[in-house]
Amino acid sequence: MTWRRFLCRALSAMVGPRPVVLSGPSGAGKSTLLKKLLKDYENVFGFSVSHTTRKPRPGEVNGKDYHFVTREKMQEEIDAGGFVEHAEFSGNMYGTSKAAVQAVQAQNQICILDIDMQGVKSMKKTDLNPIYVSIQPPSIETLEKRLRDRQTETEESLLKRLDAARVDLELSKEPGLFDLIIVNDDLDMAYCELREILAEEIQKAQGSTKS
């Protein structure tokens, strides 16, 4: 191997596959699509575990579903510059720490970031250069039905989520904000669209796991 080729391979390994930002309102289907990706490519993707100050829901595991922390602790780390993005929703703080992203990148995996519109705009200010994908419901009516079928929301919190979804869907129309907008009215089609835009990065990650 020539020195030039060695250097090119070293630089490629350092850069690695780009992270993936998935955004969209609760109930749009992000979690379902993520589970399919992680199942089909278990050694390729790594899920960035977010921090939150809200209380765990039944069945949620600290460090797996979220890093559940106090408001004081999270604010302290934000002030120290330890977060890529953070936002407040319904009285609780949510955010993605740099350490959470780096933990995934350290394994030569594609880091998946599930963040809201506020986070997307914050992420645009970083040098992480992710692929931005918006997952959207066919309509607000469909979204409301999905949220009600979950039976995990109070009427007040459900209405807040719907209001936030309307705002997010309007903001997502900004030109150049997302690389791809997927309207999830057919799960299989939505998954095919998602895999297609990630194909090149999946190849990179698979190449790094084989080498």
* Tens digits of residue pLDDT in 49-105: 899 999 999 999 999 899 999 999 999 999 988 898 898 988 999 999 888 887 787
Q: Is 148 annotated in the active site?
A: no
The CATH number given to whatever domain includes residue 202 is 3.40.50.300
Q: How confident is the model at residue 15 (pLDDT cuts 50, 70, 90)?
A: low
> Which structural domain range is residue 111 located in?
19-206
Tell me whether residue 100 is in a domain.
yes
Catalytic position from the list 9, 148, 150, 166: 150
Interval 137-157: pLDDT, tens = 999 999 888 888 888 888 888
Does residue 89 lie within any of the structural domains?
A: yes
**Residue 9 is assigned to a structural domain of this protein:** no
The domain total for the chain is 1
Query: Residues 9, 57, 148, 195: which is the catalytic one?
Result: 57
Residue ranges in the chain assigned as alpha helix (H) = 3-15, 30-40, 71-79, 98-105, 117-123, 140-150, 155-171, 187-210
The better pLDDT of the pair 128, 206 is held by 206
Q: If pLDDT is split at 50, 70 and 90, which confidence band does 14 have?
A: very low
The answer to whether residue 180 sits within a structural domain is: yes
Running DSSP on this structure, what letter comes out for residue 48? P
d(CA 83, CA 126): 11
Q: What average pLDDT does the structure give for the chain?
A: 86
Q: Is residue 11 part of a domain?
A: no
- Tell me if residue 57 is catalytic: yes
Q: Which of 71, 161, 166, 195 is catalytic?
A: 161
Alpha carbon 116 to its chain centroid, in Å, reads: 8
Residue 71 annotated among the catalytic residues of the structure: no
> What pLDDT, in 10s, does the model give residues 174-185?
999 999 999 999
110 located within any domain: yes
